[in-house]
Amino acid sequence: MSQDPEELSLIDRFKNGETSAFEELVLKHQDRIYTVCRHMLGNIHDAEDVAQDTFIKAYHNLKNFKPSASLYTWLYRIAVNTCLDYRKKPFFESLFKRSEEGDVYTLEHASDGPSPEKLYEIKQLSFALQKSMARLSIKLRTVIVLKEIEGLSYEEIADVLETSMGTVKSRISRAREELRESMKYFTEQK
Amino acid sequence: MRCKKAQGLLSPYLDGELPVMGRKMFESHLNDCANCRAEFDEMQALHNLFAGVERFSAPYGFAARTVANIETAKAWTVLWTSPLIRVAGVVMVLIIIGIGILSGNLLERTFSPQGAGKLAISFSLDVFNAAPPDSLGGVYLAMTEGKSEKL
């Protein structure tokens, strides 16, 4: 995996004691990490807390980070593990099940204003996707978020999850299969 | 290629993860198999749906808040590991122990044999006379005691 030279420079500056370089790294990756946390946890506040925890952990461990590895897959790994740990907390399950996830999977539409019928169709699809993703197990949901939302390759996902490419391939296939079935169910419900 | 094998390749083909040879064989199968073609089209439609999902930006000021929290945590760590703070903590503990010992000495004097007598009196229920002599109850008792003796 190739490393961004600007990023390597920021990491070097941080390792040499220039802690302001860390804020630049946060600015560079905050949207990605926040997005993953938001998709895995649903709630805005939980996502921000966990995203912050991710960068705090990264701050304390960056001195041990090897430049040959990819920084953003390393950050994704910390984010995914932190999200999984957060979800294990006893109070999380009751909150997660009680509260609606909110509009995490909102489909964008053209700014010039689609027709009312099109808007309705987009809304229905968003609703179906929202419900379908909520039904996935956390393992399948994680790979779909990393693949479909973040656009990582199979190899990168395997690196993030510290598993084999075969496992990644299998989970993505299963996740898509389950999503297809769920989407059919929810879109047929009118 | 059989359908069973082709279905296992739907996702990798969609994601561009198939090697060249595998891709050609899979495409050839798709051209010949309507069922696998239909399944692939559904998967493609789902994939396109995700492409339209709104992406998020981190909340405003997220980076500054994160760094501020890190700096605050560092300041607390420095404070608690400071030798001056540690000495102050030990002195506080000694003062509290000293106060405890002094309080204990005061209590011991109170509970000493001389003190215990006074304490016993102060806590004795004999102090509480339900019918003092100058009360109505006391007069009644005095009258009835005299009568019971005569009986």
Decide: A178 and A135 in contact? Cβ < 8 Å: yes
Between chains, do A56 and B66 touch, taking CB under 8 Å as contact?
yes
Residues A62-88, mean pLDDT to the nearest whole number: 89
What domains are there in chain A, each with its CATH number? 1-99 (1.10.1740.10), 101-190 (1.10.10.10)
B149 within some domain: no
Residues A19-41, mean pLDDT to the nearest whole number: 92
Between chains, do B55 and A149 touch, taking CB under 8 Å as contact?
yes
Distance (Å, whole) CA B144 – CA B59: 90
Which of B70, B76, B77 is the best residue to mutate to test the A interface, defined by the most A CB atoms within 10 Å of its own CB? Answer: B70
Q: Which residues of B touch A33 (CB under 8 A)?
A: 58
Question: Residue A107 has what DSSP assignment?
Answer: B
Highest mean pLDDT among A57-61, A102-106, A182-186: A57-61
B8 within some domain: yes
Domain of residue B14 covers: 3-51
Which has the closest alpha carbon to A61: A71, A51, A49?
A: A71
Residues A88-104, mean pLDDT to the nearest whole number: 54
Min Cα distance B63 → chain A (Å) is 6
B122 within some domain: no
B128 within some domain: no
The mean predicted confidence, pLDDT, of chain A is 85
Instruction: Evaluate if residue A89 carries a pLDDT over 80.
Output: no
Q: Tokens in use for A5? A: 């030279």
Residues A145-166, mean pLDDT to the nearest whole number: 94
Task: Give the pLDDT of residue B85.
Answer: 78
Q: Please give the backbone phi and psi of residue A107, each rounded to the nearest 5 degrees, phi first.
A: -85, 135
B115 within some domain: no
The mean predicted confidence, pLDDT, of chain B is 81
Instruction: Evaluate if residue B151 carries a pLDDT over 70.
Output: no
B113 within some domain: no
CA B5 to chain centre: 51
Task: Give the pLDDT of residue A131.
Answer: 87
- Residue A129: partners with Cβ closer than 8 Å, 6 or more residues away: A105, A107, A183, B49, B50, B53
Decide: A79 and A73 in contact? Cβ < 8 Å: no
End-to-end C-alpha distance for chain B, whole angstroms: 124
Instruction: Evaluate if residue A111 carries a pLDDT over 70.
Output: no
Q: How many domains does chain B have?
A: 1
Each residue of B71-111: pLDDT tens digit? 888 777 766 667 777 788 888 888 888 888 888 776 666 66
B96 within some domain: no
Task: Give the pLDDT of residue A97.
Answer: 45
**Per-residue pLDDT band at B128 (split at 50, 70, 90):** low
B9 within some domain: yes
Q: Which residues of A touch B66 (CB under 8 A)?
A: 26, 30, 52, 55-56
Task: Give the pLDDT of residue B110.
Answer: 64
**Per-residue pLDDT band at B13 (split at 50, 70, 90):** very high
> For the whole model, what pTM was predicted?
0.72
Each residue of B34-58: pLDDT tens digit? 999 999 999 999 999 898 887 889 9
